Structure 1
Amino acid sequence: MIKVANKKVIYRLSFRSFKANRIRNIVAILAIILTTLLFTSLFTVAVSMNYSIQQQYMRMAGGSAHGSFKYLNKEQADRLKADPLIKEYGMSLMLSMPEEAPFNKHHTEIRYSDKNEAKLYFSYPTTGKMPEDKMELATDTAVLDLLGIPHKIGEKVNLTFPVGERTVTDTFTLCGFWQTDEASLASQIWLSESYVEGQLKDYKPRASGYESIGTWNLDVMFANSRNIEANLRKITEENGYNFVDQSASNYLATGVNWAYTSTHLNKEDTIMMVAAITAVILLIIFTGYLIIYNIFQISVSGDIRFYGLLKTIGTTPKQIKRLVRNQAFFLSCFGIPVGLLTGFIIGNKLTPVIMNIMTNKRSFTAYNPWIFIGAALFSVITVGISCNKPGILASRVSPIEAVRYTERANGKKQYKNSRNGGKVYNMALANLALSRKKTVLVIISLSLSVILLNCTYTFTKGFDMDKFLDKFVITDFIVGHSDYFQCRFGSEDQKVTDSMINAINAQTGITESGRVYGSTFISNTSLEENDFKQFFGWYPKEAMESSLKDKDENGKISTDVDLYGLEDLPMKQLTLLKGKLDREKMKSGHYLALVVFPDDYGKPNLQDAIYDVGEKVKIHYCTDYKYSEDGKLTEYNGWDEEYEVIAVVMMPHNMSLRAYGDVPFITSAKTFIKDTGTENTMIYMYNVDKEHTKQMENFIKDYTDKQEPDMNYESKASYVNQFSTFRNMFLLVGSILSFIVGIVGILNFINAVLTSIMTRRREFAMLQSIGMTGKQLKKMLLFEGLFYSIVSILVSLVISVLIGYIALKPIENIMWFFTFRLNIMPIVILLPVFLVIGIIIPLLSYRMTNRKSIVERLREAE
């Protein structure tokens, strides 16, 4: 075969064929725009949400570094920072953590920091600079407000803070400041290196001194956020230090920044996340494929005579396939850029809404080039797959077949004797049967959006408010110190004040109330090795081995205890698992109930039940203690109390310290106060009658905002709102996706009906020439449209029910607050919509394509 340089000719033919199919082009470009929009908005939302959540967590964690080495001396810090695994680092030297007013309610750290460290801490001056001269200071606006200092460079700042056993008061010059980040849990005051080192020369730690004062922090960044802990371990061990054994003399403390998403994902989570993303991408590809393939399939069918004529003049199958691909390329050049831009805008508008629903206060736009590269690539793949088979059809047809081609199913001609064969509705069904593949694709395309919407609706309706509230809400209101709700209860300063409890009790509508007293002292017990392994089974292997080495003279291992004292109302919230919870007996002497906590599905974690009913437990209390010079705790004035375990109970998480790790016990409030010598209310719980619930909500909010701002509360109403917004997030995202898929389906329907009418104009003219009226023709088209609509709804109903029982019902075993309830309300609502579409689109299409006379239409194929 002689090779002819005809690529330009094929390109020119492609372009002219492209221009000749205006209606096809409009629908195809819209389909490509929507497909690209889906990919771009999905990737934008996913990337921006991940980035926003990480940024929020970083601000809560206090920095953006991948990891850190803590409590170093200068020599260690200089040695570690030279490791080749470290791509970037920052260093800081701790001087003080003031506790007296005005810092008693605001955690503040005083340090020297280099510029990199300040940036990693999100604490770099946006106005002014970092301290350079000895008596310069930089801090955030919250600290300036606490000290009553105007936000102005050059202001004098009087600062009093402890340095070990000394109290230092100095005056500094404000050289820089930045706006306080609401998400941050601590403020930083930066001082110059020369000043900090000068103050630490004579540093003598207090008896209970901080091990961090006078030590360096080295915060590091690696090439990426994968394997942070492994990298920290490698650096530690290669430099001759111990990564695991805290009792070792060469142990180095390290920290992994939990803000990075990669640190939360285990192998199973990663597989599930990849599977979910893959499923969504395949869904979008399939959605785009349905319409783009159908457009090209119908377009090729309509232009089949044109391709046949090209073959008669020597065009090869390969050239015809290239001609179809070129047209797809032209369409992509128009559709993909518009889809990328529109999808990015929609994605960034949608992200703040989702983030707000998720109660994250801030969202960040992620300008990641991979969003556009990925979306464009998947769109091109979708278009390529979609036009491949129509191109093969066009390339294989012979010139003679092309001239005779009509839309029909493959196979032999079938003859049928029927008295009703001339009925209009039978003709409509016969017409749809001529091209079964096209009919099936249009039905699938229309059904997909309905199935997706119905499944989304069923999923969100399955979020069971009662299950959710049963887990989180034990009484109408719980009040406590704000630190308690951040899992930081542990000192007398964090107790619920009597003034607050009296103010609450003065309100009307309270039906019952009670206190939970919590540990603000050191207490511990000793466990047998087997019991220790059972309770702390989640320990890493190295940590477990290290703990088992520290046995006392009796071969037991000491561990801390969490003790709770309960009044009657909180005692009623316990679930008895074993024994008898005799409240009067518990009040009369040394009796305890061992606590186990529920898992996500409300089932007790029975592996924590290391004591049985009737066993004795000795608890050692210590409220007065000191630290040795090497930082180890030395107890004084301690005493022992022995108790009998009379029950094993399950305790709601919201009544506890909200943190796990120590062995938990409960006793009566009376026994707690008597045995511990403390009377610190951890939380105060109470119920209110319905008539006064709203009034109480307003009171407690106003009280914690204005009267005692260190206090906080949780209410049933707050959890109801939290649950509703969480559910609405899924409904919003699913509805938007369903809406876009629905538009794709309707476009496919319009394209199928319109193109079918255009390619059958000669057929319609022949029917009219032998006596079929325009009214009958329109009725036939109406039956075709209604068939698409009704069958699509029926298919949606059947598949939605199957998906419900096969895919959604098992979610009950995965999400503890989910209860499967089959719901077909969206299908019922969409039924009249589909019927209207099935009527209007065929009529409009007929009117647009039936403007020529019968004779003119009969002559079109000649």
Structure 2
Amino acid sequence: MNGFTPNNNTNVIRLLSEAIRKCNKSRNRILMGAVVLCILTLTFVFGTAYGKINAEYTKNIRMDGTTASTYIEEGTKQQYEKARSLGYARETGRRMKMGEATESGKKESICSIQVLDQTAWEKMMKPAYTGVHGTYPKKQQEIMLPVKTLKKLGIDNPKRGMKIALDVSISFFQTEKEEFKLSGWYSAYTEDNGKSKAIGYVSEKKLKDWGYDIEEGSDILICQSNDMDWKDTEEKLYEDVPMKDNSQQIIATDTAKNRAVKEMTGSYVMAVVEAVVIICGIFLLVYNVMQISMSGDIRQMALLHTIGTTKKQIRKIYIRQIMWTIVPGCITGTVLSVLLLRYLIPELVGRQYLNGYGGAEELQIFRMEILLLAVAFTLLVILGASEQVIRQTVNRTCIEGMHYTEQTGRKKRHRRRNDLGKGTFNKKKRSETQELCFMAWKNVTRYRQRFVITVISMFLGIEMFLIVMVITTGSDYANIINQRPDFLIAGEFSEFAQKEGSGTEYQTQSPDQDPLKSEGNSFELLYDNEYDEFSPISEKVRNRLWSLDGVKKKKSYITEGAYMLSSISRDGVRPLEKDTYLGKNVEYAEESSTDYESGAKMIEGLDADTVQIVSENELKALKTYVEKNKLKVDMNSLEAGTGVMIVHDHKLSQKQERQAEKAVGETVCLSPLKNKETCIRWNSMTDKERDKEDEIIKAETPSTEYTLSGYLDNQADDFPEIHQTWHGAEGDIYYLVSEKGFNRLPTKRKTFCMELNVEKKKEKNIMYEIQKILSAENQRRKSNTQTSLDGEGEAVIFYIARSDLMQKIADYIRGNRIMFGSISVILLCVGLVNYFNIMFTGIVGRKKELEIMRKIGMTRRQERKLLLLEGSYYVLLIAGLVVSVGSIVLKGIEVYMRKQLSYFTFHYPIGAIAGSIVIMEIVCVIICNLLILKKMKK
């Protein structure tokens, strides 16, 4: 017994693990690479997507100036309580718009004044601002102002408690002179214009001092669930919250988060589908490496099982040798993920990514939780595959384990001795190439389960790369700008409107906003120019612009029409009334209430309305849209020239929409404005003389009668593209009329705006010519006060160049492309590395088989050709799947994304498909010629 050596299982397990690791050295290198790629891919793709969505969310709320995406105008206390109780309303607050504020003793508006409740400030407004100093006003004379407004007041270094004197116009007849104390200030990123003017906040105590209560008559702000789009939100709110009258409206938009997800993936559903596909592809990548070497591992473990190694000991040996590989892989993957996502990508994207919205510090694509989940997922996949090896080892007999192969399926029927020779010599002998092709196909499909998993994993890798390519190129922010004309030329609002602060958002430079949408009305547009001869773009300027060398006339468009006075029957105008229960028209009527009682049928507008001519193509598009959606609109009268259409920017409530359907066929009368000479004479008259002159003009002015063809909402889904001039103003009516219908009017057509597309090589010269033409015209209009009625000069002309917009957001587009391009590249690498792993581990695992083939006469050339054919079969199979099944998937992506994003552009990725196939074939050649055969030769 003196020679007895005690059993030291720990050392034995360590030695066996080390020996098996060295034996599987080639496989383990591939496995380590797969682990690194798995962690890097999951962290990179999901981290970048998560960071991009959050950055876009921040951009959206700062651009909107609020996180609220829906509001009920002038809501009641009961409506507020009802909205708070709704499960899909995440946050609910109140906002009271009070009026405009000017610096004491001056006329120019510097900001609007609003009052918020605590929820509206903390949850809806404050997150959209940066640099918030101080507190929201609580005391009666406290005010919070944006930095922009303070600079207008000449205050560069604000301090809490400093006194600020303002004149606040609360209503048309009420102006209050106030001395406030500054309670705080903030930085906002909305455009300072009539639509989203700088906002100053006062307290609820001040509101009560002015005689108002925030619980009654204030807008109810709502943040709905992110998975609800604006249409569903409006429909649900109309169902769940009773409206106080027919004209009360709910205005909803998609949430900032919803818009960010749409721009990135299309929708939450698509995001989940893409995430599942990516995870499945990564799972199959790692699992495939383990699966290919599994038969050899089972035979190794079976030998140990034969000599008495227990299941527990086998698990320790196998897991230990695997951990020697995956631990360095996890560390390497983690380090690379941190370097790429924490430092490299943010540096490439640049600090200008969210310039104008707070800077690129909002772009944080590295997420520690995503990295930890990626590491955990990788470990679970490898350990799960390892457990399968151990389970199959111990569940087999020793002999079965030592002779284990992956071959499955039905056993082949053995041929009887008597059958031998029958037909054998009659078969046509295959050539060498045919034989090699046959052998290669048999080798590829030898193990069916491995073959199916391999093909699916490679297809998913390449297809996911193509899907991301299609989505990213189709939803590229540049597509928004590319839908614009090269040059948009239109008339500005009058100087009066710009001084008052309304109408200035018309011509916005923001690429994703309509530059012709405005809250200014026709009174502000035509102020000092309200005569029949006035045209925003004069005929002389129009002809000079149209005749510029390089203008593509077939691809350019001129919007024409006139400004007319309109009268509509009472039932025809009823959908636009503010209070239909009372039967009174508050905003759009000239008659008094006695006129209603006396039975007056026609309602005359106070100001001129826009009458726009629609082209034949636009008429056809409108007709198709009406028929498709089965709308109650009379397109026949519009086409025939006997009818006019009213379009609006989603201004009608649900009840008003139903009233609009009943208004079809009502009477509309259009009359021209006074001519310039009459207007000048009218301005010099006394009030009594004016009244008398108006009666004479009204009696002598010809009026053209039409029928009302109907109302259409130009914000509705699938509404056709109509080249509208300025639109969106409250209280105005926007008419569409056909060429035949306009020819009936006693006025000349005016040019509202021009959309010019030009030859690229002449674009710079044309821009110079446009600048020169407009500069000379605007100088003439401003200097020649005789062209206006009150001596301020005609409204001038502006232009917006697409190239300027593109340059303005070049950094943002570059950042987007870098992030999306990085995701595409890494997904392509997943597919290629998967192919490399399959080829490399598959050939290495057949070392002995290839040695036997060489011993029985296979030459080096034939061996190389055989392996190339095997790799090429995989390439052909993947190419076939991508072109057939993959194309169907890409077509579905196109249809889906077009519904989600109006500017989505589909480009079939023929270059990416061809490139990925060529790269796979190159990888096959490299593996066969440089790696495998050279190693075997040694």
Q: TM-score category by the smaller chain?
A: 0.5 to 0.7
Change (3 A) 1:29 1:653: farther
Alignment-derived partner of residue 602 in structure 1: none
Alignment-derived partner of residue 399 in structure 1: 398
Asked if 1:187 corresponds to 2:198, the answer is yes
Q: Cα offset for 1:653?
A: 3.2
Asked whether the equivalents of residues 478 and 713 of structure 1 are also in contact (C-alpha less than 8 Å), the reply is yes
Alignment-derived partner of residue 255 in structure 2: 259
Q: Cα offset for 1:459?
A: 7.5
Asked whether the equivalents of residues 129 and 176 of structure 1 are also in contact (C-alpha less than 8 Å), the reply is yes
Asked whether the equivalents of residues 524 and 561 of structure 1 are also in contact (C-alpha less than 8 Å), the reply is no
Asked whether the equivalents of residues 451 and 799 of structure 1 are also in contact (C-alpha less than 8 Å), the reply is no
Distance in structure 1 (CA, Å) of the matches to 2:540 and 2:106 = 27
Letter in 2 for 1:400: I
Alignment-derived partner of residue 644 in structure 2: 593
Work out which of the residue numbers 678, 684, 698 in structure 1 matches 2:753: 684
Q: Deviations over 1:335-390 (max 9, x none)?
A: 55765675577668779969999999665437877645765565556546655655
Aligned length: 783
Asked whether the equivalents of residues 615 and 739 of structure 2 are also in contact (C-alpha less than 8 Å), the reply is no
Alignment-derived partner of residue 857 in structure 1: none
Work out which of the residue numbers 647, 666, 690 in structure 1 matches 2:736: 666
Alignment-derived partner of residue 880 in structure 2: 798
Asked whether the equivalents of residues 571 and 666 of structure 2 are also in contact (C-alpha less than 8 Å), the reply is no
Change (3 A) 1:13 1:718: farther
Alignment-derived partner of residue 141 in structure 1: 147
Asked whether the equivalents of residues 444 and 870 of structure 2 are also in contact (C-alpha less than 8 Å), the reply is no
Asked whether the equivalents of residues 474 and 573 of structure 1 are also in contact (C-alpha less than 8 Å), the reply is no
Asked whether the equivalents of residues 277 and 460 of structure 2 are also in contact (C-alpha less than 8 Å), the reply is no
Change (3 A) 1:183 1:340: farther
Q: Cα offset for 1:143?
A: 0.5
Secondary structure at 2:101's aligned position in 1? coil
Distance in structure 2 (CA, Å) of the matches to 1:26 and 1:527 = 81
Distance in structure 2 (CA, Å) of the matches to 1:519 and 1:147 = 38
Distance in structure 1 (CA, Å) of the matches to 2:86 and 2:886 = 53
Asked whether the equivalents of residues 461 and 828 of structure 2 are also in contact (C-alpha less than 8 Å), the reply is yes
Alignment-derived partner of residue 924 in structure 2: 838
Alignment-derived partner of residue 493 in structure 1: 524
Alignment-derived partner of residue 27 in structure 1: 30
Letter in 2 for 1:259: T
Asked if 1:365 corresponds to 2:361, the answer is no
Moved more, 300-309 or 81-90: 81-90
Q: Cα offset for 1:121?
A: 1.8
Secondary structure at 2:723's aligned position in 1? helix
Distance in structure 2 (CA, Å) of the matches to 1:218 and 1:459 = 36
Asked if 1:643 corresponds to 2:717, the answer is no
Aligned pairs (5 A) from 1:453-602: 453=465, 477-478=489-490, 482-484=504-506, 485-494=516-525, 501=537, 505=541, 508-511=544-547, 516=560, 525-527=569-571, 565-566=610-611, 574-575=618-619, 579=636, 592-594=643-645
Asked whether the equivalents of residues 164 and 182 of structure 2 are also in contact (C-alpha less than 8 Å), the reply is yes
Distance in structure 1 (CA, Å) of the matches to 2:317 and 2:603 = 80
Q: Deviations over 1:509-541 (max 9, x none)?
A: 42498665688999754448xx99xx99xxxxx
Change (3 A) 1:488 1:297: same
Secondary structure at 1:746's aligned position in 2? helix
Q: Cα offset for 1:655?
A: 0.8
Moved more, 333-342 or 481-490: 333-342
Alignment-derived partner of residue 739 in structure 1: 825
Secondary structure at 1:186's aligned position in 2? coil
Q: Cα offset for 1:31?
A: 1.9
Asked if 1:177 corresponds to 2:192, the answer is no
Q: TM-score, normalised by structure 1?
A: 0.67
Alignment-derived partner of residue 50 in structure 2: 47
Work out which of the residue numbers 841, 844, 848 in structure 2 matches 1:755: 841
Asked whether the equivalents of residues 455 and 878 of structure 2 are also in contact (C-alpha less than 8 Å), the reply is no
Asked whether the equivalents of residues 564 and 672 of structure 1 are also in contact (C-alpha less than 8 Å), the reply is no
Stretches of structure 2 lacking an aligned partner (at least 5 in a row): 1-7, 494-503, 507-515, 548-552, 585-595, 624-634, 651-656, 674-693, 713-718, 783-794
Aligned pairs (5 A) from 1:190-339: 190-191=201-202, 200=210, 243-247=241-245, 258-261=254-257, 273=267, 275-315=269-309, 335=329, 339=333
Distance in structure 1 (CA, Å) of the matches to 2:220 and 2:437 = 79
Distance in structure 1 (CA, Å) of the matches to 2:124 and 2:12 = 60
Alignment-derived partner of residue 540 in structure 1: none
Q: TM-score, normalised by structure 2?
A: 0.62
Change (3 A) 1:143 1:263: same
Secondary structure at 1:98's aligned position in 2? strand
Asked whether the equivalents of residues 149 and 198 of structure 2 are also in contact (C-alpha less than 8 Å), the reply is yes
Change (3 A) 1:365 1:582: same
Asked whether the equivalents of residues 480 and 712 of structure 1 are also in contact (C-alpha less than 8 Å), the reply is yes
Alignment-derived partner of residue 539 in structure 1: none
Q: Deviations over 1:784-810 (max 9, x none)?
A: 442244223322332233236633446
Q: Cα offset for 1:307?
A: 0.9
Asked if 1:617 corresponds to 2:667, the answer is yes
Change (3 A) 1:717 1:562: farther
Identity of aligned residues (%): 18
Asked whether the equivalents of residues 535 and 752 of structure 2 are also in contact (C-alpha less than 8 Å), the reply is no
Distance in structure 2 (CA, Å) of the matches to 1:503 and 1:747 = 65
Distance in structure 1 (CA, Å) of the matches to 2:616 and 2:891 = 33
Alignment-derived partner of residue 41 in structure 2: 38
Q: Deviations over 1:381-434 (max 9, x none)?
A: 654665565555444554334545578676559999867679777765665455
Q: Deviations over 1:164-197 (max 9, x none)?
A: 5454445556564333324683323345676665
Asked whether the equivalents of residues 317 and 395 of structure 1 are also in contact (C-alpha less than 8 Å), the reply is yes
Letter in 1 for 2:736: I
Instruction: Give the aligned CA root-mean-square deviation in angstroms.
Output: 6.8
Q: Cα offset for 1:88?
A: 8.4
Q: Deviations over 1:306-343 (max 9, x none)?
A: 21112213346687578666766776655557656755
Secondary structure at 1:684's aligned position in 2? strand
Asked whether the equivalents of residues 25 and 331 of structure 1 are also in contact (C-alpha less than 8 Å), the reply is yes
Asked whether the equivalents of residues 704 and 744 of structure 2 are also in contact (C-alpha less than 8 Å), the reply is no
Q: Deviations over 1:481-504 (max 9, x none)?
A: 653434434243346988984699
Letter in 2 for 1:48: G
Asked whether the equivalents of residues 165 and 178 of structure 2 are also in contact (C-alpha less than 8 Å), the reply is yes
Letter in 1 for 2:912: P
Q: Cα offset for 1:846?
A: 3.0
Distance in structure 1 (CA, Å) of the matches to 2:545 and 2:45 = 49
Distance in structure 2 (CA, Å) of the matches to 1:377 and 1:504 = 72
Asked whether the equivalents of residues 562 and 750 of structure 2 are also in contact (C-alpha less than 8 Å), the reply is yes
Distance in structure 2 (CA, Å) of the matches to 1:32 and 1:683 = 63
Q: Cα offset for 1:52?
A: 3.2
Secondary structure at 1:153's aligned position in 2? coil
Moved more, 830-839 or 151-160: 151-160
